[in-house]
């Protein structure tokens, strides 16, 4: 799991995700399945009770708290869905 501090920390993962273009499927809001080299990985995007944004991935890098392209790809979808939800409630 890593704490999301800003887009700068994601830059290389975003670049790799754009190149590889992994498939991202929604399990439910905040939980995604992302294709990778060894099948699918689960990515969870959440806010804790203090409002701190965290992302975790079940890939080897994610298990070492590294920012991976799976997380970057899922986070992109997550942000879009969050904006849709926010707009729908206004």
Answer whether residue 89 is part of any domain: no
pLDDT tens string 37-71 = 899 999 999 998 898 999 999 999 999 999 999 99
36 vs 5 pLDDT, higher one: 36
pLDDT tens string 4-29 = 888 788 999 999 999 999 999 999 99
Domain that holds residue 68: 2-82
Answer whether residue 49 is part of any domain: yes
Answer whether residue 69 is part of any domain: yes
pTM of the model: 0.89
* Predicted pLDDT of residue 35: 97
Question: In DSSP terms, which residues pair with 34 in a beta bridge?
Answer: 24, 41
Answer whether residue 88 is part of any domain: no
Into how many domains does the chain fold?
A: 1
């Amino acid at each position: 799991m890593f704490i999301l501090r800003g887009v700068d920390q994601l830059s290389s993962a975003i670049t790799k995700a754009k190149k590889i273009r992994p498939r991202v499927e929604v399990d439910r809001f905040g939980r995604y399945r992302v294709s990778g080299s060894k099948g699918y990985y689960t990515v969870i995007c959440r806010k804790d009770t203090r409002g701190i944004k965290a992302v975790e991935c079940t890939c080897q890098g994610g298990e070492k708290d590294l920012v991976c392209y799976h997380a970057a790809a899922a986070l992109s979808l997550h942000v879009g869905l969050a904006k849709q939800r926010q707009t729908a409630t206004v």
